[in-house]
Structure 1
Amino acid sequence: MAEVDFTIGHKQYTLSCQEGEERLLKRAAGMLDTEAQQILSQAGRMPEPRLLLLAGLMLADRTSALEDRANAAERELARLKSNPQKVEVPAVPQDLADAFAELAARAEALAQKAEDSLISE
Structure 2
Amino acid sequence: MSQMEVQIKIGGRSFDVACQQGEEQYLLTAARMLDNEADVLVSQIGRMPEGRMLLMAGLMLADKTAGLEDRLRAADDRIGELTDELGELRAKSGSGSVAAGATAPEPERVEVEVPVEVPVEVPVEVRVEVPVLPEGLAEALAEMAARAEQLADTVEEKAAS
**TM-score, normalised with respect to structure 2:** 0.53
Q: Does 2:57 match 1:55?
A: yes
**1:63-78 matched pairs, under 5 angstroms:** 63-78=65-80
Q: 1:113 — aligned with what?
A: none
**Following TM superposition, by how much is the alpha carbon of 1:89 offset from its aligned partner in structure 2, in angstroms?**
3.8
Name the SS for the 1:46 alignment partner. Answer: coil
Greater strand proportion? 2
Deviation string for 1:12-57 (max 9, x for gaps)? 0011111110000000001000000000000000011110011000
Identical aligned residues as a percent: 48
Alignment-mate amino acid for residue 34 of structure 2: L
- Mind listing any 5+ residue stretches in structure 1 that lack a counterpart? 92-121
User: Does 2:11 align with 1:9?
Assistant: yes
Q: Within 1, Cα distance between the matches of 2:4 and 2:69? A: 31
Post-superposition offset of 1:11: 1.3
Distance 1:43 1:34 in 2: 14
- 1:116 aligned residue: none
Is residue 2:22 matched to residue 1:20? yes
Question: Are residues 90 and 70 of structure 1, via their aligned partners in 2, closer, same or farther at CA, if it must alter by over 3 Å?
Answer: closer
Residue in 2 that maps onto 1:32:
34
Runs of 4 or more, structure 1, over 4 Å off, are none
The 2-side partners of 1:49 and 1:90 are apart by 55
2:30 and 2:37 mapped to 1: Cα distance?
Answer: 11
Greater Cα radius of gyration, structure 1 or 2 = 1
> How many positions carry a matched residue from both structures?
91
RMSD between aligned residues: 1.8
Unaligned runs of 5+ in 2: 90-133, 139-161
Give me the TM-score of the superposition, normalised by structure 1: 0.70
